[in-house]
Amino acid sequence: MKKKFALSGFVVLAATLMYFGQALETVSAQKTQGKTRPAATKYLMRGIVQPNCAGVGKLLKAGPANEKEWDTGACHASCLSEMSFALMDDGRCPDGVWASAAKTTLRECSDALLAAAKKQDLDAANAAFKELTTSCAACHKAHKS
């Protein structure tokens, strides 16, 4: 009788551990890779987010000199805006910190940056970009190992 109890206790424990193990695995899989699409988060970061963010930084430091440079700024802002959607897609988002960084900060600031670039408003562009970069720090602090 005692043996039977111990055995069923072990089975319950094993099942519980397996359940939580799987749940943890799902969460980390969501951060580094979506559920169905092949692009890893680090490549979206390295290939799209980082270069477009650096591009804006460089442009604003010197101040866009002409129509073409403002248009490049609009291009960077548009790519960052799309990334705010991609980061929320395909089961990638694990929690509220991620959602707030991507869906609120990154999206609203890149949209404000795009509007500023279209109006060629340097002050508004600088303000939007300054806040945009807080999204990188917020999400990385919680989710980048």
Binding site for ligand HEC (CB under 6 A): 31-32, 41-42, 45-46, 49-50, 53, 87, 98, 101-102, 106, 135-136, 139-140, 143-144
The DSSP code for 5 is H
Taking the least distance from each CB to ligand HEC, the nearer of 31 and 64 is: 31
> Of 106, 127, 102, whose CA–CA distance to 117 is shortest?
127
Q: How far is the CB of 85 from ligand HEC (least distance, A)?
A: 11
Query: What tokens does 75 get?
Result: 């291009």
Taking the least distance from each CB to ligand HEC, the nearer of 8 and 28 is: 28
Q: How far is the CB of 68 from ligand HEC (least distance, A)?
A: 23
Q: How far is the CB of 87 from ligand HEC (least distance, A)?
A: 5
Q: How far is the CB of 62 from ligand HEC (least distance, A)?
A: 19
Backbone angles phi, psi at 65, to 5 degrees: -90, -25
Taking the least distance from each CB to ligand HEC, the nearer of 2 and 61 is: 61
Taking the least distance from each CB to ligand HEC, the nearer of 16 and 50 is: 50
The set of residues, in sequence order, having a beta carbon less than 8 Å from that of 95 and lying 6+ positions away, is: 142
Q: What kind and span of H or E run contains 140?
A: helix 122-143
Q: How far is the CB of 10 from ligand HEC (least distance, A)?
A: 36
Query: What tokens does 44 get?
Result: 């979206």
Taking the least distance from each CB to ligand HEC, the nearer of 17 and 46 is: 46
For 93, the 3-state DSSP assignment is coil
Q: At what angle do helices 50-62 and 67-86 cross, to 10 degrees?
A: 150
